[in-house]
Chains A and B, each alone.
Chain A
Amino acid sequence: MNPARRLGRALFVAWVFLRRDKKAMVGVIILFILLVISAFPSWFTPDDPAAYAYTPGIGLSWAHPLGTTSFGQDVFSQLMAGTRQSVMIALVVGFFCTVLSVAIGITAAYSGGIVDDSLSLFTDVVLVIPTFPLVIVIAAYLKGASFWTVAFVLVITGWSYGARQLRVQALSLRNRDYLLAARARGEASWYVICVELIPPMTSLIVANFLGAALYAIIAASGLQFVGLANVNTEAWGTMLYWAQNNEAFSAGLPLWALAPGIMIAIFGSALALLNYAFDEVSNPALRPVVATRKNKKRAVA
């Protein structure tokens, strides 16, 4: 099969899958909306998100749908403007974590021998070093870490779980007949890996991307919330930082603290729902069973 037809078929399968799986559909729609907001934030910001120009500390109103902060910023506009950084950090970290996981996990499984032993050992060591405390320690020395620094720290701490999973799956595929046949034909290693080995692993790779992105948005928001990232940028986590430091709840401005958390939760849920759906693709045993008569009987028995 040539690559173009392969891609076409993959897209078709994805479409059929989305139509059938409501969880995945919800996840995709949410992600799409958030991507549009991050691509064109100015379409969604009625007021200037950076301006300290409005009446401070008002609740729901027509002029300010989610009220204003104690500094007189428009909460809704800040929320929309913050979407870009929060979504970007998840996607960037998810992408680079996945690239590292695929590179290390598959190299280990495909090479075998001492390469596998040393890469696996390295992966396991990174895996058991507590991630979030390490992120905090590094961020503490960097003081007000920038977007790319936070992304870098999250990538170097976040790839190991995926690498381990991918290695296990690649190992189980390694000695299948079609791979042995490709090698026997004398194909180059990169060809066997890219064309024969990786495509069957797509669903696990996607699941890994989603898992890493979820980890990134939660960890990055956490860092921003405690003030360890640059708190003068527009992101949901930094909104939470300012809301918490100005006691938004006691000041009668619950929306200021609630809204960014809800956005993180919505984004995280979309990633988690998609991840759950992809789990069902890569492990058919987990797919939902229709509660037919026969199944009900079996369940009672």
Chain B
Amino acid sequence: MRYLVRRVGFLVIALWAALTLNFFIPRLMPGNPAESVIAQYHGRLGPGALKAIEAELGIGGHQNIIAAYFQYLGNSLSGHFGISTYYFPTPVVTVISRALPWSLGLVGISTVLGFLAGTALGAIAAWRRGRVFDNVLPPVFVIISAFPYFWVGLILIWLFSLTLNWLPTLGGYTETATPTLTWGFVGDILWHSVLPAFTILITAIGGWILTMRNNMITVVAEDYVKMARAKGLRSRRILWQYAGRNALLPNLTGFAMSLGFVISGAILVEYVFNYPGVGFLLLLAVNNEDYPLMQALFLLITVAVLIAIFVSDIATALLDPRTRNNR
């Protein structure tokens, strides 16, 4: 119970820190971004609405920064993120909700696949310590995980779409097609997701292989694994049900964090492929100086990561009683 209270406390503090950061960053920057937002609204909003936004952004003279800060906290907590300046007059929330499914689908599936495959390969590598599989695999993936992943995407596009012409270069679906719920369109989406998904997969898998292998090497030396061997259990059973399970625990937090990052999309991969997800939207917002959209996206990404970490802390505590006493 104490553990739970501490974790909730941390969640609240981290959330507050993120909100505060989000509020103060634009105000600390040169060139007053708030005024550029107002300038973009000019002529498109009535004077009353303009006044309201000025008050919200804390400019126009009358409001002091502390009052603006509390108003901002209230707005954020009740889900009011304002209107996008680029996609005017669509509210920021609507713009984001259009991009969200794309990131969830593409990055979500490839993250889970990468975690599963990497964990399995890492466990097997540790199990076959010092043999070919273990000597080749980890160094190879150490090197691959150091590649800039957006560049891996560029190479895949060059090889498989420009040179071989097998797969589409850009976008989430064929632009001329109308989005409907037919097999043909779903197939089209999957077809477009092959290259970006593969990019995420091969650059993410290395980290999982290494951490799992290292955890596993520690766990295999434990007494209960020796006992399982002494009992004459099958090798496969010891690998997955005795050692694997326990070696997996420290990785859960990392996995939860990466699930949190699913919301943000693989920013640069989405950029390279012009994939219509949240990460691409963030960079578009940056390029179009759509600050309300950008700030809301940053907040959304942070909240997603915080919640993912919170859930993983609770899950780890439920699965592994040792952690409950530790902190």
Q: Residues on A close to B: CB < 8 A?
A: 23, 121, 124-125, 128-130, 132-134, 136-143, 214, 218, 221-222, 225-228, 240, 244, 249-250, 254, 257-258, 261, 264-265, 268-269, 271-273, 276, 279, 283, 285-286, 288-291, 295-296, 299, 301
Contacts and interface: CB of A to CB of B under 8 A. Distances in A.
Contacts of A291: 130-131
A254 B158 contact: yes
Identify whether the interface residues of A are mostly helix, strand, loop, or mixed.
Answer: helix
A250 B148 contact: no
Contacts of B135: 288
A261 B154 contact: yes
B221 to A, nearest CB: 7
Given A261-B154, A264-B148, A23 B306 contact: no
A133 B306 contact: no
19 contacts: A128-B305, A129-B305, A130-B264, A133-B267, A133-B282, A133-B297, A133-B301, A140-B289, A141-B31, A222-B148, A261-B151, A264-B151, A265-B147, A273-B139, A273-B142, A276-B139, A276-B210, A288-B135, A291-B131
B162 interface: yes
Contacts of B31: 141, 143
A136 B282 contact: yes
B166 interface: no
B162 A130 contact: no
Which are the 9 A-B pairs with shortest beta-carbon distances? Answer: A268-B146, A261-B151, A141-B29, A272-B146, A289-B130, A140-B286, A269-B143, A291-B130, A265-B147
A269 to B, nearest CB: 4
Contacts of A133: 264, 267, 282, 297-298, 301-302
Contacts of B272: 244
Contacts of A222: 148, 150, 268
Contacts of B33: 141
B128 A299 contact: yes
A265 B202 CA distance: 14
B151 A272 contact: no
B13 interface: yes
Contacts of A221: 148
A218 B18 CA distance: 24
Interface string B1-43: 0000000001001100110010001100111010000000000
Interface string B261-289: 10010011001100000000011001101
Given A136-B283, A138-B25, A273 B143 contact: yes
B214 A279 contact: yes
Given A129-B302, A218-B149, A222-B150, 7 more contacts: A138-B25, A222-B268, A225-B151, A249-B157, A272-B143, A288-B135, A291-B131
A130 B235 contact: no
Nearest to B271: A226
Contact of B146 (A124, A226, A227, A265): A265
Nearest to B303: A130
B229 interface: yes
Nearest to A298: B129
Nearest to B268: A222
B143 A125 contact: no
Contacts of B210: 276
Interface residues of B, number: 63
A38 to B, nearest CB: 18
Interface string B148-181: 1111001101100010000000000000000000
Contacts of A129: 14, 17-18, 21, 302, 305
B267 A23 contact: no
- Centre residue among A137, A221, A226, A285 by max chain B CB count within 10 A: A137
A289 B129 contact: yes
A218 B229 CA distance: 44
A86 B319 CA distance: 44
B309 interface: yes
Contacts of B128: 299
Contacts of B289: 140
Contact of B130 (A125, A141, A273, A299): A299
A210 to B, nearest CB: 10
A130 B148 contact: no
B286 A261 contact: no
B148 A261 contact: yes
A141 B286 CA distance: 9
Interface in B96-119: none
A299 B238 CA distance: 12
- Centre residue among B31, B145, B146, B306 by max chain A CB count within 10 A: B146
A301 B233 CA distance: 10
B94 interface: no
B218 interface: yes
B229 A132 contact: no
A271 B142 CA distance: 10
B148 A301 contact: no
A34 B320 CA distance: 46
Given A261-B151, A276-B139, A299-B130, A137 B294 contact: yes
B295 interface: yes
B130 A128 contact: no
A298 B133 CA distance: 16
Given A121-B10, A132-B267, A134-B298, A250 B146 contact: no
B218 A285 contact: yes
A130 B146 contact: no
Contacts of B264: 130, 132-133
